[in-house]
Amino acid sequence: MTLIRAASLRLMASGLLLALLGACAAPVTRDTPPDPTLHISTKEAVQEAQAKRARGQRVWCVPFARTASGIELRGNAETWWNSAKGIYERGHDPDVGSVMVFSGTRKLPMGHVAVVSDVVSPREILIDHANWQRNKVSLAMAVIDVSEKNDWSLVRVESQPGTLGRPYPISGFIYPEPESEG
């Protein structure tokens, strides 16, 4: 009986180990953030947007990005880059959970913010954001870096499946980690 029990325990332990290893390699799903340190998930941001629409309210990119990323900034999207200085880490490399800040332009006078949901390659990411299409949430939308220096300063967004829109200037990425002192 003890040999059978020992073999059974080893089999269960092996199964648990395989399950844990499999979970490490599992792809990230679009309805949960891959980083457990994120404030509130994209799923909850989508639910907030749905509730706003049900009450007849507009859905905007800033509250969506704030909820999905946990980055507690206020103001129009075009102000986020400067507002983050001294509070959050900023940079020019996309990272899952970071907020991509679109610069204010004639087409986007208030700028735009979107949350990086996946880094597909050094020059392609997927984003989750709101109000790119009026009053709608867009998930896993492709963005391509088209900057000459490959520095994510200019991008094209997949506005319709398989169709990239016009180029937009990007200020950079705000990471959910507070800026380190020193």
Tell me the residue type at 3.
L
* Residues 96, 93: Cα–Cα separation, whole Å: 10
Q: Tell me how long the chain is.
A: 182
Choose among 151, 152, 154, 153: nearest CA to 165.
154
- Domains, in order of start, for the chain: 29-178 (3.90.1720.10)
* Pairing mode, strands 99-102 and 112-121: antiparallel
* Residues 5, 2: Cα–Cα separation, whole Å: 5
CA dihedral sign, ordered 119, 124, 126, 130: positive
Q: What is the pLDDT along the chain (182 residues), one digit of tens a residue?
A: 444 444 444 444 444 333 333 332 223 333 334 444 444 588 899 999 999 999 999 999 999 999 999 999 999 999 999 999 999 999 999 999 999 999 999 999 999 999 999 999 999 999 999 999 999 999 999 999 999 999 999 999 998 888 999 999 999 999 998 887 65
Burial class (CB in 10 A: 0-12, 13-18, 19+), 77: buried
Q: How is residue 46 written in tokens?
A: 């989508």
Are the CB atoms for 129 and 138 separated by under 8 Å?
A: yes
**Could you tell me the pTM of the whole model?**
0.77
* DSSP assignment letter at 77: G
* Residues 168, 154: Cα–Cα separation, whole Å: 5
Are the CB atoms for 100 and 116 separated by under 8 Å?
A: yes
